[in-house]
Structure 1
Amino acid sequence: MDNLIRLQRDRKSVGHFFFTRGELGQLLSLYSSRVAAGEWRDYALDQLDDMVLFSIFRHTHERPLYSVAKTLPRGQRRPSYTLFNGPKRLKTTQNLRDLLLTFDKLPRLVTG
């Protein structure tokens, strides 16, 4: 009965790493414009140990069409942003705005 277990010490220390309010605003602004155009339908936010993901879906029950990942490379203070199309890495930059401009160059769904 004398054995004391300190849960704090045994827990894995996970840093609070997420999108800032401004970054989330930029992502949701792009997302809402594409939803209004009928191209995208759903999104998901995932927080992993070393990155946070904003994934975009065309249909709710599919794999992500695009994912924006924010990572903090070891030894650096500025985060890195990467755009994925499935497993394919499309662009990596240290500025989210530059990354989001990439969406203007990608093919878009045409409806008639």
Structure 2
Amino acid sequence: MNERFGAGQRPSDSADSVVPFPIAPVLPQVSFDRLELRTIFNLYGRRVAEGEWRDYAIDFRRDKAVFSIYRRTSETPLYRIEKDPKLARRQGAYAVIAAATGLVMKRGHDLGRVLAVLEKPLRAV
């Protein structure tokens, strides 16, 4: 009798080999980095303080990242701020889109300049 096995035990193939657990492939995902989110949330916070915007949603997809801005939670978004790295060399990775019509309001390479289209113009008091 083999010394590895005690009385009443017998060798089996499954005890000697380990079957690895199948791991799903990790798919790349586009997201906003910390500085981009800071810029977006600075604008968002000012507009919430003014009472114009009330809710937001962030969606990270394989091809682009989307920050949606809502006037009310139950409505469709007013604007979408999109980051699409495929367009970075041509038109710019960032875009502000009017969600109701799908109109691209501004597109560019610099997020701050693209978000300027959503800023209120200054007025003399």
Counterparts of residues 52-67 of structure 1 (less than 5 Å):
52-67=65-80
User: Which of 91, 99, 110 matches 1:95?
Assistant: 110
Length-normalised TM-score, structure 1: 0.77
Length-normalised TM-score, structure 2: 0.70
5+ residue gaps, structure 2 = 1-13
User: Larger Cα Rg: Structure 1 or Structure 2?
Assistant: 2
User: Which of 81, 86, 110 matches 1:73?
Assistant: 86
Q: Percent identity over the alignment?
A: 33
Deviation at 1:30, TM superposition (A): 0.4
Change (3 A) 1:75 1:5: farther
Give the Cα–Cα distance (whole angstroms) in 2 for the partners of residues 38 and 105 of structure 1: 13
Give the Cα–Cα distance (whole angstroms) in 1 for the partners of residues 117 and 67 of structure 2: 15
Aligned residues: 101
Query: Deviating runs (4+, > 4 A) in structure 1?
Result: none
Which residue pairs with 1:109 in the alignment?
none
8 Å Cα contact 2:98/2:105 also seen in 1: yes
Change (3 A) 1:39 1:75: closer
Counterparts of residues 17-32 of structure 1 (less than 5 Å):
17-32=30-45
